Structure 1
Amino acid sequence: MQQDKHPDYRAVVFRDRAAGYAFLTRSTAQSEQTIEWDDGETYPVIDVEISSESHPFYTGKARTVDSEGRVARFERRFGGPDAGRPGGGPA
């Protein structure tokens, strides 16, 4: 292996703030932020938006993010589940 060609491979903490979950692993990812881990050592920390603790595939919980009202606009435009029925209930 050639010297000075490969990035530094070291222990790094990845933190999922949405789930309140963090794990220690080895990575070449760089970070200016640090965190004190359970073992008393200080490690670089990288914040991630989603991890196995918050991803719907792993949690089994589907979530609908509709910040712009797309579902409501679609239902107004093309009709919802009760569109076209008198009384609006199931047939």
Structure 2
Amino acid sequence: MKDGIHPNYRDVCFVDLSNGFKFVTRSCAPTKESIKMEDGRELPLFKLETTSESHPFYTGQQKSVDTLGGRVEKFRNKFAQFSKK
């Protein structure tokens, strides 16, 4: 491989700012901060607003807005008198 053309691919600690959840994965994400892990390693730190630990879709707290079913029933009620029998 040529030197100087590849991104800096290394272990990075990602932290969810909403609940403090941390996970380590390999990434090229640019960082300016670092964090000391429990095992003694010092890793680059990348802060995230939301992750699978805090996103409503993945936590099961997402509220379903069922507007389609209401529209269909409204249409059927409105035009029921015009239906062929």
Q: TM over 0.5: same fold?
A: yes
What is the identity, as a one-letter code, of the residue corresponding to 1:53? E
1:38 aligns with 2:38: yes
Larger of the two Rg values belongs to structure: 2
Q: TM-score, normalised by structure 1?
A: 0.64
SS at match of 1:6: coil
Q: Report the count of equivalent residues.
A: 63
Partner of residue 51, structure 1: 51
* Identical columns (%): 44
- How many angstroms does 1:62 deviate by? 2.3
- Structure 1 unpaired stretches of 5+: 64-91
- How many angstroms does 1:4 deviate by? 1.4
Considering fraction of residues, name the structure with more helix. Answer: 2
- How many angstroms does 1:17 deviate by? 1.4
SS at match of 1:13: strand
CA RMSD after TM alignment: 1.2
Q: State the alpha-carbon separation in 1 of the partners of residues 28 and 2 from structure 2.
A: 17
- How many angstroms does 1:61 deviate by? 0.7
- Structure 2 unpaired stretches of 5+: 64-85
Q: State the alpha-carbon separation in 1 of the partners of residues 20 and 7 from structure 2.
A: 29
Q: State the alpha-carbon separation in 2 of the partners of residues 55 and 34 from structure 1.
A: 25
Partner of residue 27, structure 1: 27
Partner of residue 81, structure 1: none
Partner of residue 11, structure 1: 11
SS at match of 1:11: strand
Q: What do residues 15-56 of structure 1 show as CA deviations (whole Å, max 9, x unaligned)? A: 001022010111001111110012101001010001000011
Partner of residue 72, structure 2: none
Q: What do residues 55-87 of structure 1 show as CA deviations (whole Å, max 9, x unaligned)? A: 111100126xxxxxxxxxxxxxxxxxxxxxxxx
